[in-house]
Chains A and B, each alone.
Chain A
Amino acid sequence: MNAIEVSGLTKRYGKIEALRDADLSVRKGEVFGLVGPNGAGKTTLIKGLVGALRPSGGEARVMGLNPIRDRAELRRRIGYMPQSPALYEDLSARGNISFFGAAHGMTGLRKRVDDVLDFTELTRRANDPIHTFSGGMKRRVSLACALVHRPEVIFLDEPTAAVDPQLRSRFWRTFRELARGGATLFISTHLMDEAVLCDRIAILREGRIIATDTPRAILEWGRTNLVVKRGGAREKETIGGRPEDLAAALRPYGLEPGVTAIEVESDSLETVVLSLIEKEEAG
């Protein structure tokens, strides 16, 4: 059984279709990225999966459970970190984490809160009120709140938005650690350098999923520009993005001593995703 199964999921707000016929599946233990520009429908899809939104059509299953009908069971098994910190500013980090943890009626809550504070490197500021925290620290508290009850599937809505590169890298180490521990992570982002860190990604545009694959496979849909310098001459060639395309393009040159340099410039994931979106827009 997959951790997440989505089939034809649609959400309409009046005449606006925020999500259109979304289909995807996420394997257990996978780090799955939902990539797309602002307003593409990433938050809508996540909210549909955590049961915060009633879909207009289609179906979603998380660990085999319907997010609306089976919400009581589902909510014990999922963690959710929303885009905004969603914390009580007057309470401490410990107070916030304990409050959301207590909802699940866990035994040994105090020890578990200590553990997640340690895991998110917040122990030193555990008893300080949230309003004294920086934006990055609030995000760490928010993540800790999502992890406190040891969820099997964790939904993270733009977890690293407005976070500095050092903290972002720390977050991704944490995500990988969680996945190694068996959790499934469903992460939305509009940052392509984060998307490449996922096992698989889905590209969302105006509420429609236009591609789903591994970042490497999506990169292969791009182009590679090849410049071969031979003597004083420069031969330019544009080839496909697959490693086989590069091999085929280089084969005719062999070990010809006249070739003094070869420049290979491949499209970035951002370029490939943008061209996919542009293609989609052009119809």
Chain B
Amino acid sequence: MRRMFIVAGRVVRQLLRNPRFLVLSVAAPLIIVYFLKIFFDTLPPTFDVARYAVPVAAFLVHFLAFLLCAISLVQERTAGTLERMFINGFLRTEIIAGYVLGFLGLATFQAVAGLTEAIWLFELDYDEVTLVTLFVVVWLLAIASVMLGIFVSTFARHEGQVFPFVPLIIVPSVFLSGLLVDVDELPAWAGWLGHAFPLFWANDVIQEVIESGWTLDDVQRSLAVLVGYSVVLLLLASLTLRETE
């Protein structure tokens, strides 16, 4: 437990001392959401902005949290610091949990910033409970993305090997998770495949709560799946992170 906090503290210190990394991870989603606003402004007034604004912000948080975490952990491997951590007695679970804790702050900040900007720019009017629920779901998605990044990093020997996972995992989720079209409109098999992506469950909650008259019962299943997704990925990453050659 103590060593988990040592790893988390080091991850946070590293993030704070790397301004380029911080700018990329926080400013990039904000800029892209702004571009989205410019794009949506060109569409006819009948276009349902609310249907896409928050899901797209959630997707950006998901994509960046996944990518930045995966790359950070792969950098540990290429720099030899991961091996050094193991030889100094850190356990796999301590390293992974430390990473999750360390990136949790960043993921929270990304979730708050992305969501706040989307709501402000697109002039979305939600009550407090809806806002809190939206934040919780984007935050849970960010945590699942960090877990996904850690899991994927165990299959990459260098940074370049992370990128093939983007078209493999992230890009399909754009089309199959209900982000652009409802999964009901997709062929049945594609709809089922969509259920495999954490973005599907996050989007399911988002679509539910931005409609009026939702209750906690309507979203708790999807929220639970999102939490379960993180737990399963955490376990898988603990099993696949290689300690020895």
Of B3, B18, B80, the residue contacting A90 (CB under 8 A) is: B18
| Interface residue? A88 (CB, 8 A) | yes
Q: Which of A60-81 contact B (CB under 8 A)?
A: 68, 72, 75-76, 78, 80
Q: Are B87 and A50 in contact (CB under 8 A)?
A: yes
Of A52, A75, A85, the residue contacting B244 (CB under 8 A) is: A52
Q: Are B14 and A88 in contact (CB under 8 A)?
A: yes
Q: Which of A64-108 contact B (CB under 8 A)?
A: 68, 72, 75-76, 78, 80, 82, 84-91, 95, 99-100, 102-105
Given contacts A54-B244, A104-B89, contact A82 B80 (CB under 8 A): yes
Chain B neighbourhood of A191, CB < 8 A: none
Chain B neighbourhood of A89, CB < 8 A: 79
Residue of A nearest to B15 (CB): A90
Q: Are A90 and B17 in contact (CB under 8 A)?
A: yes
Q: How far is the CB of B234 from chain A (nearest CB, A)?
A: 21
Q: How far is the CB of B125 from chain A (nearest CB, A)?
A: 42
| Interface residue? B84 (CB, 8 A) | yes
Chain A neighbourhood of B18, CB < 8 A: 90
| Interface residue? B6 (CB, 8 A) | yes
Chain B neighbourhood of A159, CB < 8 A: none
Instruction: Please measure, in the bound complex, the distance between the C-alpha atom of A87 and the C-alpha atom of B88, giving whole angstroms.
Output: 13
Instruction: Please measure, in the bound complex, the distance between the C-alpha atom of A47 and the C-alpha atom of B86, giving whole angstroms.
Output: 12
Q: Are A105 and B2 in contact (CB under 8 A)?
A: yes
- Chain B binding surface SS class: helix
| Interface residue? A145 (CB, 8 A) | yes
Chain B neighbourhood of A104, CB < 8 A: 88-89
Chain B neighbourhood of A76, CB < 8 A: 89
Q: Are B6 and A99 in contact (CB under 8 A)?
A: yes
Q: Are A86 and B2 in contact (CB under 8 A)?
A: no
Q: Are A52 and B10 in contact (CB under 8 A)?
A: no
| Interface residue? A53 (CB, 8 A) | yes
Of B17, B85, B245, the residue contacting A47 (CB under 8 A) is: B245
Chain B neighbourhood of A53, CB < 8 A: 244-245
Instruction: Please measure, in the bound complex, the distance between the C-alpha atom of A140 and the C-alpha atom of B90, giving whole angstroms.
Output: 22
Residue of A nearest to B94 (CB): A103
Q: Which of A102-123 contact B (CB under 8 A)?
A: 102-105
Residue of B nearest to A67 (CB): B244
Interface residues on A, range: 20 to 34
Q: Are B83 and A91 in contact (CB under 8 A)?
A: no
Given contacts A50-B87, A52-B86, A75-B89, contact A99 B10 (CB under 8 A): yes
Q: Are B84 and A80 in contact (CB under 8 A)?
A: yes
Q: How far is the CB of B221 from chain A (nearest CB, A)?
A: 41
Chain B neighbourhood of A57, CB < 8 A: none
Residue of A nearest to B91 (CB): A72
Instruction: Please measure, in the bound complex, the distance between the C-alpha atom of A50 and the C-alpha atom of B83, giving whole angstroms.
Output: 10
Q: How far is the CB of A68 from chain B (nearest CB, A)?
A: 7
| Interface residue? B13 (CB, 8 A) | yes
Q: Are A84 and B79 in contact (CB under 8 A)?
A: yes
Chain B neighbourhood of A85, CB < 8 A: 80
Q: Are A87 and B244 in contact (CB under 8 A)?
A: no
Chain A neighbourhood of B161, CB < 8 A: none
| Interface residue? B220 (CB, 8 A) | no
Q: How far is the CB of B211 from chain A (nearest CB, A)?
A: 45
Q: Which of A38-55 contact B (CB under 8 A)?
A: 47, 50-54
Residue of A nearest to B90 (CB): A103
Instruction: Please measure, in the bound complex, the distance between the C-alpha atom of A47 and the C-alpha atom of B244, giving whole angstroms.
Output: 9
Q: How far is the CB of A6 from chain B (nearest CB, A)?
A: 17
Q: Are B245 and A103 in contact (CB under 8 A)?
A: no
Instruction: Please measure, in the bound complex, the distance between the C-alpha atom of A179 and the C-alpha atom of B61, giving whole angstroms.
Output: 53
Q: Are A103 and B10 in contact (CB under 8 A)?
A: no
Of A72, A75, A91, A102, the residue contacting B14 (CB under 8 A) is: A91
**18 other A-B residue contacts (CB within 8 Å) besides A52-B244, A86-B83, A90-B17:** A50-B87, A52-B83, A53-B244, A53-B245, A72-B89, A78-B87, A82-B80, A84-B79, A86-B81, A87-B79, A87-B81, A88-B79, A91-B13, A100-B84, A100-B85, A102-B6, A103-B3, A104-B89
Q: Which residues of B contact A (CB under 8 A)?
A: 2-3, 6, 10, 13-14, 17-18, 79-81, 83-90, 244-245
Lowest 5 A-B CB distances belong to which pairs? Answer: A86-B80, A90-B17, A75-B89, A103-B88, A53-B245
A-B contact pairs, 26 of them (CB 8 A): A47-B245, A51-B87, A51-B244, A52-B86, A52-B87, A53-B245, A54-B245, A68-B244, A75-B89, A82-B83, A86-B80, A86-B83, A86-B84, A88-B10, A88-B14, A90-B13, A90-B18, A91-B10, A91-B17, A95-B10, A100-B84, A102-B3, A103-B88, A103-B89, A103-B90, A129-B17
